Amino acid sequence: MSTPDEHALMSAPLRVCDPHFHLWNLHERPNPNLGTAVAEQLPAYLAADYLEEMGRLPVPLELSSSVHVETVVGQMDGGFALDPVAETRWVCEQMESTGHPFGVVAYVHLARDSAETERALRQHEEAGPGRLRGVRMIVNHHADNADLTWPQVASAGFLRDPVFGEGVALLGERGLSFDLQCNPHQLEDAARTFGDHPRTPVVLDHLGSFHDGEDEMYTQMWREGMAALASVPHTFVKLSMLFFCAGGYHQDAAKEAKVKDLVQEVIELFGCDRCMFASNFPVDRIMGIPVETLYGKFLEWTVDLADAERAALFHDTAVRAYRL
């Protein structure tokens, strides 16, 4: 079997569509949702910073397109941290100045009345003409852990709210997708809700938010939830934010083995044509994981896959899911 380096040398350039990155400038646009670590370590992360880092991808990877995901601007107790439409406009100004191909996943609250949802979607489309690809509203709710519950997610049954379902349907009518971020115990509810809306593609963020340090019962719950979501054919999964599964995995062989097994399990469940690697930059960088290390691991873990399978994981699935 060839080593990752040997495989890279034998391979043609492998395109990368990065379907999950963030930009911010806390000097000009304060965002309390990003937390003190971001404010202290990286108060500004602009388009030029992102592209410079992604220019250091290991051979044979080459960045060809990206998707910016909202920076939790909408979900604060009592209201917005920042105007979500203003974020879309600012991100588009940042990225368009570089010439790099990109799309945007914006924040919209989907559990308000349909007229308000439609108005918000129209405003995002006007703020970034031709750039809007989808919406993310983080829907994590946990009855026993406030740290795993997001503001404005009012109850454990949020995903079953008929008004939320109407919002999901509106996305499909406008050719948009939904980025799903929830806790593992919510995945079965998610499968039922999104199964009723086949016109709306759903992209599950961050490996289904598998949380480090839980017991075997939790792992089985995650597996059952992921299987339920995999049964919904218009769902996809981002293989990202893997430090949440095992902190420090990039420096610890046992932790890396755990993360690799989880990633491979998800790939087997959904298939390469519904899975996509993502940088989650600069969040992963703040957690101490350089881009070279992050994507180096992705290359190592997929060294035995066929070229078409690798192409799907690094590029083709994301391009198809986000219509880039």
Residue 16: pLDDT band with limits 50, 70, 90: very high
CA–CA gap between residue 113 and residue 119 (Å, rounded):
10
- The mean of the pLDDT values for the chain is 92
pLDDT for the residue 78: 61
| pLDDT tens track for 161-216 | 999 999 999 999 999 999 999 999 999 999 999 999 999 999 999 999 998 878 88
Strand, helix or coil at 262? helix
- Mean pLDDT to the nearest integer, 29-47: 91
CA–CA gap between residue 127 and residue 306 (Å, rounded):
40
DSSP 296-316: HHHHHHTTTS-HHHHHIIIII
What are the angstrom distances between the C-alpha of 131 and each of 91, 92, 137?
10, 8, 18
> Is the pLDDT assigned to residue 254 strictly greater than 70?
yes
pLDDT for the residue 77: 67
Contacts of 270 (CB under 8 A, 6+ apart): 230, 235, 236, 237
Q: What pTM was computed for the model?
A: 0.93
Contacts of 284 (CB under 8 A, 6+ apart): 240, 241, 243, 294
pLDDT for the residue 40: 92
Residue 313: pLDDT band with limits 50, 70, 90: very high
| pLDDT tens track for 272-310 | 999 999 999 999 999 999 999 999 999 999 999 999 999
Residue 7: pLDDT band with limits 50, 70, 90: very low
> Is the pLDDT assigned to residue 3 strictly greater than 60?
no
| pLDDT tens track for 106-137 | 999 998 888 999 999 999 999 999 999 999 99
Q: Could you give phi then psi for residue 14, rounded to 5 degrees?
A: -115, 115
> Is the pLDDT assigned to residue 88 strictly greater than 50?
yes
- Domains defined along the chain, listed by start: 15-321 (3.20.20.140)
Cβ atoms of residues 287 and 243 within 8 Å: yes
